[in-house]
Amino acid sequence: MSSPFPNLLVPDTALSVGSLTTYIQTVLEQDDRLQQIWVIGEVSSATQYRSGLFFTLQDPDIKASINCVVWNSQLHKLATLPVQGAQLILLGRIHLHPQRGQYQLIIWQALPAGEGLRALRYRQLRDRLEIEGLFDPARKRPIPSHPQTIAVVTSPQAAAWGDIQRTLKRRYSGLHVLLSPALVQGEQAPASIVTAIRRVEQDGRAEALILARGGGATEDMACFNDERVVRAVATCSIPVIAGIGHQRDESLADLAADICAHTPTAAAEQSVPLLADLYLEHRNRVAWLQDASSHYLNMLRTHEQRLRDRLQRLHPERQLQREMQFMRWQRQRLLRATTQHLRQADQHCQMLKQKLATLDPQAVLRRGYAVVRQTDGTIARSSQTLHLNEELLVQLGQGQIKVKVTDMMNLDASTNADVNLP
């Protein structure tokens, strides 16, 4: 085969990939210091497989890490099992995996070295935010039952974005989905996620927000434990659904979100209803309304039939005749009572007329009596109130006369006064 670079001289010492890998493997695995070495670090993630326990040992200060494995045959010999967040002192040897070109530490023994720095920082931050109430269930807001627009904060290159799009389209076609791109791994990720969340809030169209990232190593998920991200999720003006990592993963952003779905697909499923379920609910409601309407109509028909049967038993003509007869009887009773009342009133009126006639002053005068008045109109009732030569007015049965007092006589001697006409 001719060389693609005819003018380029290839040195005789050029190595193939396999040769280079074998050389590096020989250098690493035959080094006396690396065949049995003690390493101290913090376990950032641990996963049990059929062949053994695989985990990552990390130095949080300089962000260096190394892959480690304990084969199943060696697990029972360990003084302590590697778990996430534990600080361990490990004894093992360096091994290079040729197919992947990666080296790892094969562990023989693990000793406890206290709580890991990353785990301690995580616990302290969680306790502080929990005291502030950022994880309080009372703060959780419900997701809109029928949203029209949903925003997604994730990396556009991540598989999570494709999973969310497919899930939303399958469950709730016609939904408007907004992507607010962000870095979801690395040192720049926390600031990028906060900016993406703020971008969604400023846009104002989304009714809910999905914060998503696919699974990965624990150190890759560290950005979702960053205080800036947690506060941005907790103070977001719209409900937040966290779909971060796998089912076993739990970040502080999950705790601060309104709903924690653990995976991007689950977050998409919980953000919108399934159209098939909505159609089924609609059909059930229609069926229920039809049943209720039919039941009500049957009740009305039954009631109508009962009224018809009752009418037939009552014989309306006979009932009407009874009512008319009763009205005639009431009319006669009213007339009799009115006539009797008028008769009594007339008799009482006649009696009052007789009393008035008896008390009429003119009738008294016509019988021969007279009324004597002084000039001021006062009736003279005693001679003691009169004076000699005083003029008096005497009212007779017919007409009046004026007289003058000429003499005063004692009532004991005589009952008449001598009165001279003027």
Q: What is the pLDDT of residues 334-363, one digit of tens each?
A: 999 999 999 999 898 988 888 887 777 776
Whole-angstrom Cα distance, residue 135 to residue 128? 11
Sort strands 149-154 and 86-97 into parallel, antiparallel or unpaired: unpaired
Give the number of other Cβ atoms within 10 Å of residue 421's Cβ: 9
Print pLDDT tens along the chain (422 aa).
Answer: 455 555 555 566 777 888 888 888 888 888 878 888 999 888 888 889 999 999 999 887 777 889 999 999 999 888 889 988 888 889 999 998 888 888 999 999 988 876 666 777 788 889 999 999 999 999 999 999 889 999 999 999 988 999 999 999 998 888 999 999 999 988 899 999 999 999 999 999 999 999 999 877 776 788 899 999 999 999 999 999 999 876 565 789 999 999 998 889 999 999 998 887 778 888 888 889 988 988 899 999 999 888 888 777 777 777 788 888 989 999 999 999 999 999 999 898 988 888 887 777 776 666 667 788 887 878 877 777 788 888 888 777 678 888 888 887 765 544 444 444 44
pLDDT one-digit tens code per residue, 128-183: 999 999 999 999 999 998 899 999 999 999 889 999 999 999 988 889 999 999 99
Name every residue whose Cβ is closer than 8 Å to that of residue 21 and which is 6 or more positions away in sequence: 96, 98, 101
C-alpha 256 chain-centroid distance: 20
Other beta carbons less than 10 A from residue 207's beta carbon: 16
Within 8 A by CB and 6+ apart from 223, the residues are 183, 184, 185, 186, 189, 190, 193, 229
Rg (C-alpha) for the chain, rounded Å, is 60
pLDDT value of position 7: 58
The fold adopted by the segment(s) 121-136+147-273 is Rossmann fold (3.40.50)
Tokens of residue 128, six digits: 């502080």
**CATH number of the domain at 17-115, please?**
2.40.50.140
Assign residue 328 a region: left if phi > 0, alpha if psi is -120 to 50, beta otherwise?
Answer: alpha
The 10 Å Cβ neighbour count of residue 54 is: 16
C-alpha 43/C-alpha 20 separation (Å) is 31
What's at 392, amino acid-wise? Answer: L
> Residues 263, 246: contact at Cβ < 8 Å?
yes
User: H-helix or E-strand containing 70?
Assistant: strand 64-71
Distance separating alpha carbons of residues 400 and 417, to the nearest angstrom: 18
Within 13 Å and on the Cβ side, how many CA atoms surround 386?
A: 26
pLDDT score recorded for residue 140: 93
Distance CA 285, CA 319 (A): 48
pLDDT for res 112? 81
HSE value, Cβ hemisphere, 13 Å, CA-based, for 197: 28
Contact 190, 144 (CB under 8 A): no
Cα–Cα distance for residue pair 411/417, rounded to 1 Å: 9
pLDDT value for 368: 66
| Predicted pLDDT of residue 229 | 95
What is d(CA 285, CA 266) in angstroms, rounded to the nearest whole number?
28
Sign of CA pseudo-dihedral 269, 275, 280, 286 = positive
CA–CA dist 275, 281 (Å, integer): 10
Domain ranges of the chain: 17-115, 121-136+147-273, 277-314, 366-420
| Residue closest to 150 by CA, chosen among 259, 254, 278 | 259
